[in-house]
Chains A and B, each alone.
Chain A
Amino acid sequence: DAGITQSPRYKITETGRQVTLMCHQTWSHSYMFWYRQDLGHGLRLIYYSAAADITDKGEVPDGYVVSRSKTENFPLTLESATRSQTSVYFCASSEGAPYGYTFGSGTRLTVV
């Protein structure tokens, strides 16, 4: 099916563990983004990517790592999860300006 899919939908992990959130899109959009949703802050950009092997930091990148070896995939890794990383994470893709984003359905991550 065409679209943008995130996995898993829900994840509970322990403090200090490494966890990877997956994002896959089928449109061959060049641009992909990771946002986190927090109460009072709305959606904040973690990392983005303009193409395979090109990534850049957003507003809140600390504690996260991304890679983009293929255009369609943009995984987000929490190297050593902390409770402050408990959040809902959204992946998005875009063809570029002036078009907006298409969002995935989100991953709810709880760090205990």
Chain B
Amino acid sequence: ILNVEQSPQSLHVQEGDSTNFTCSFPSSNFYALHWYRWETAKSPEALFVMTLNGDEKKKGRISATLNTKEGYSYLYIKGSQPEDSATYLCASTEILTGGGNKLTFGTGTQLKVEL
């Protein structure tokens, strides 16, 4: 079982603030790192899949970076809006025999953006 940790556990910011949170994962046998956005009472939605050291991905105001050598990824939100309020999950991938992938999730960072 991979050990995936996220920090902080929760975060309250004001509208317009930029914020970032961290995901740490085992760097040995790394394959891919996933970020998901999870709104209350909904199902997690994929944000990014990152595979290469130094990868940077961007989607609107949200971006992520990856450091596979030291085993961490950062998620950044620029100019937070109330609609960004959600739990952000990261997951590390374990490859299954036959090419499947088993994701181990961190416990998430719960972001609340206040007006």
Contacts and interface: CB of A to CB of B under 8 A. Distances in A.
Contact of A50 (B51, B100, B108): B100
Interface stretch (A12-20, A71-79, A99-107): A99-107
A96 B100 contact: yes
A97 B46 CA distance: 14
B100 A31 contact: yes
A41 B100 contact: no
Name the residue among B1, B100, B101, B103 with the largest chain A CB count within 10 angstroms: B100
A30 B31 CA distance: 19
Nearest to A38: B107
B60 interface: no
A45 interface: yes
B31 A98 contact: yes
B115 interface: no
Contacts of B103: 33, 45, 100-101
Nearest to A98: B32
Contacts, number: 72
Contact of B107 (A41, A99, A103, A106): A41
Contacts of B31: 97-98
Contact of A100 (B1, B49, B99, B100): B49
Interface in B79-115: 89, 91, 93, 95-108
A91 B100 CA distance: 16
Given A30-B100, A42-B89, A104-B43, A97 B32 contact: yes
A99 B100 contact: no
Contact of B101 (A40, A43, A97, A103): A97
B59 interface: no
Interface string A25-45: 000001101010000111101
16 contacts: A31-B96, A33-B103, A41-B107, A42-B107, A48-B100, A51-B98, A59-B1, A94-B101, A96-B101, A97-B32, A97-B93, A98-B31, A100-B34, A100-B49, A102-B46, A104-B43
